[in-house]
Amino acid sequence: MSETQEITPYEQIGGELAVRKLVNRFYEIMDTDPVAAGVRAIHQPDLTLAAEKLFLFLSGWLGGPPLFVEKYGHPMLRARHLPFRIDERMRDEWLYCMYKAMDEQLAEQSDLKAHLEQAFMRTADFMRNAG
């Protein structure tokens, strides 16, 4: 009897190139959409490093290679975000950018998109450290 291996969200999205495309679009939205002005303001002017770190993190978080862990160690998401004031508005602006990027890229994968929206919401809400 063979074991059936579940297909990871990383594979469902399309692997490395698709995750990179999602991250790049996420930061394009953050950089240009006035709805995201608050969350954009807490980032460095150049988003290159932030985009690379998010790509590395999402690769592992989505079930692909653990690139962030290999390069930086355990993500310690909450600790890494404590220097920034993250309230509901910041959470919602971040989610707005991610959901919009996913809407564009995962339009044909509604089940996956719904699953990821819930997972991103739980994770983003956990990052809150202010009212």
Task: Tell me the per-residue pLDDT of 20-74, one tens digit each, with 9 for 90 and over.
Answer: 999 999 999 999 999 999 999 999 999 999 999 999 999 999 999 999 999 999 9
How distant, in Å, are the alpha carbons of 8, 96, 97, 116 from that of 34? 33, 11, 11, 24
* Domain boundaries along the sequence of the chain: 13-126
Identify the CATH homologous superfamily for domain 13-126.
Globins (1.10.490.10)
Q: What is the pLDDT of residue 4?
A: 65
> Cβ-count burial of 98 within 10 angstroms (0-12 exposed, 13-18 middle, 19+ buried)?
buried
Q: What is the pLDDT of residue 3?
A: 60
